[in-house]
Amino acid sequence: MLYLASQSPRRRELLGRLGLDFGVLDLDIPEQRQPGEHADDYVRRVAREKAGAGLLKVVATPGAVVLGADTEVVLDDEVFGKPRDAEDAAGMLRRLSGRTHQVVSVVSLVTAGREAQAVSVSEVTFAPLAEAHIAAYVATGEPFGKAGAYAIQGGGEVFISHLSGSYSGVMGLPLHETARLLREFGIDCPRVPVAAAAHG
């Protein structure tokens, strides 16, 4: 049985696109970067901690496979998490304006006897943003609960002048890497071509 260790409706939607049945585990894992911790290592750790905490909840279920994921926006080695408030959201968007940042998305898969990870790193370039555009976007409420204060699948998409990498990874769950990882654990995704999953 596959479980998704995430409260994110976006991850639920994305995993559902693979045509899989899965349970959902609601967890509250602290997301706090440690002093001196590299941004990529931080995202890897949080994804692993989510998966591990999820496995503890279903350890009595034979054959349980738990998927944990974390996605963060990184600029100049600073991790942009979810904004605290409107002022924080506007500040993040100002810093992203006219620049290229990375979106690091990590998928962790764990069972009682095995664990593995897949990493997706995308480069996202924002067009220069006017203060009026930032204010209007923050006023929609969409930036809240989103790493970097924007949603690529929503109104934030209009800010992006260039994307190199995984659209679904920026959204919160890189589907190509996820499908490949699931196949390694013996879980076939009905909607994914076998060749693409096996060799991508």
Average pLDDT, the chain: 93
In the structure, what pLDDT confidence band is assigned to residue 94 with cuts at 50, 70 and 90? Answer: very high
Q: Tokens 């496979």 appear where? A: 65
* pTM (predicted TM-score): 0.91
Mean pLDDT score, 2-25: 94
Q: In the structure encoding, which two tokens stand for residue 13, read together? A: 């939607």
Contact 108, 78 (CB under 8 A): no
Share of the chain above pLDDT 70, in %: 96
Contact 111, 64 (CB under 8 A): yes
pLDDT for 197 equals: 44
Mean pLDDT score, 73-87: 95
Q: Name the residues annotated as catalytic.
A: 70
> What single-letter DSSP state applies at residue 128?
P
CA 68 to CA 170: how far, in whole Å? 16
- Which residues share a beta bridge with 9? none
Domain boundaries, the chain: 2-185
Mean pLDDT score, 70-97: 96
Contact 67, 109 (CB under 8 A): yes
Task: Please determine, for residue 199, whether its predicted confidence score (pLDDT) is greater than 50.
Answer: no
- Name which CATH class applies to 2-185: alpha beta
> What single-letter DSSP state applies at residue 43?
H
User: Residue 111 burial by CB count (10 A; 0-12/13-18/19+): exposed, middle or buried?
Assistant: middle
pLDDT for 137 equals: 98
In tens, the pLDDT along 22-60 reads 999 988 888 889 999 999 999 999 999 999 999 999 988
Mean pLDDT score, 83-94: 98
pLDDT for 119 equals: 97
Would you say how long the chain is, in residues? 200
Mean pLDDT score, 166-180: 96
In the structure, what pLDDT confidence band is assigned to residue 195 with cuts at 50, 70 and 90? Answer: low
Mean pLDDT score, 79-92: 96
Mean pLDDT score, 111-120: 96
